[in-house]
Amino acid sequence: MLGECGMKEWERRVLRQNSVTILQDLVVDDLLIQCLQQDGILTENMAETIMAKPTSQGKSRHLLFLLPKRGPQAFSSFCAALTATEQQHLSRLLMDFTEKDKSFSEPSLSRPTQECVIPVKRARTHESMEMCLDADSPVTTAVVPCMPEFYQSHRSQAYPMRSCPRGLALVLSNVRFDSANTDLDVRRGGEVDEETLRRLFMELDFTVSLHKDLTAEAMRRCLEQFAQRQEHAEYDCTVVCLLSHGVEGSVYGTDGQLLELDWVFEVFDNARCPLLQNKPKMFFIQACRGEEMDNGVDQLDGQERTQSPGCEQRDAGREGERDDKEREEKDRERLRVKLPQRSDMICGFATLKGFSTAAMRNTKKGSWFIQELNTTIRQRANDTHLADILVQVNGRIKSREGYAPGSAHHRCKEMSEFTSSLCKDLYLFPKYYPNN
């Protein structure tokens, strides 16, 4: 039960004076709201009102509006919830601010001892075909926001990115497989990847749907239903993430059956998904494309050799005399704008096509590819288009080595890649809305 009095004045002041940073960095997700509900800080109606806000900043703004009115424990509970949801940088900011400000008339706030109950992760058992390595990984930081000046100077050559939310995001994550029908192992650390992507795209103001441990047929149904959602008409882009075991061209369902990636792309093409025509469609595939391990090669001194592939062009038009009837038919046909069957797609793969290589995954921090994708988007999406971000991800992956002394995986390598049919620059313009 809440006490009669509200938040202390110096606690209100701390929130007020740090509101800009909080609004910029805070991720208000289901877990944070649950923490505050369990402590009695938020009612169910308050939680629903907050989560109904369409943008990340809208959720944060409404939460900051409510907190000062929710009793003397609201501040400490908020700090505890920040820690529980891996937003320790904000918790430390608030705590350090209270300790340094000598003008406060009340004693400095001690670090909260109250802890939020965090859902227990499912037990992990067997090793995975994706190599499980336990080296350290980059620390997640808040998404850097886009500045208005950058938006104004780059929007003309970029895909429109003004909708709020930006779009729908779908994450399909298979961690545990049916042992009765397949010998596929548990993907240890796969839970970390799914949560990393969920939080990343929520912070980028996508509406995220996460589905776990699906058969191949259930994955097909889920993808088809997602592609036909009417909200696509109102939003500017979409994201699909597939996390599972895989082989070249396919990923596995939990029943050991394969889902072909070409079919996935077809579901979102211009014919089958007209609501996303001319809008960017992003795909990220965390899966093996075989079982071979890349042991790397020794780098030799000297300049790298490059080859530029030849390009063959074919004129799509026909030259020559035409009679009047043919010309009229062609002119009528030109009035209808036509699109290629598949366009405006970009797909990042954890491993190279054609090399049958395994993807590397840290059992505690998640896969290399998702780690680097998450870090690079957070740091560079404010001023870098997605194709260049994926080039930087490739560079980060190229420089990594496995750390597993005494095993065949020690100093093993991985190389990611991406394919693109984008027709403009794809900037996410994070946390910037020109109409607001």
Catalytic residues: 245, 288
- The structure tokens 């965390």 sit at 286
Query: 245 near 130, Cβ under 8 Å?
Result: yes
The dihedral sign for the CA sequence 109, 112, 114, 119 = positive
Q: 302 to each of 138, 299, 399, how far by Cα in Å?
A: 31, 9, 18
Query: 355 near 292, Cβ under 8 Å?
Result: yes
Determine the longest span between alpha carbons in the chain, in angstroms: 92
Query: Residue 140 — φ and ψ, nearest 5°?
Result: -75, 135
47: enclosing H helix or E strand? helix 44-51
Query: 208 near 202, Cβ under 8 Å?
Result: yes
Our CA dihedral for 130, 402, 126, 192, rounded to 10 degrees, sits at: -70
Q: 204 to each of 24, 166, 193, 342, how far by Cα in Å?
A: 11, 8, 17, 26
Query: Residue 261 — φ and ψ, nearest 5°?
Result: -70, -30
Our CA dihedral for 363, 364, 366, 371, rounded to 10 degrees, sits at: -140
- In angstroms, rounded to a whole number, what is the distance separating the alpha carbons of residues 316 and 318? 7
The dihedral sign for the CA sequence 111, 113, 114, 120 = positive
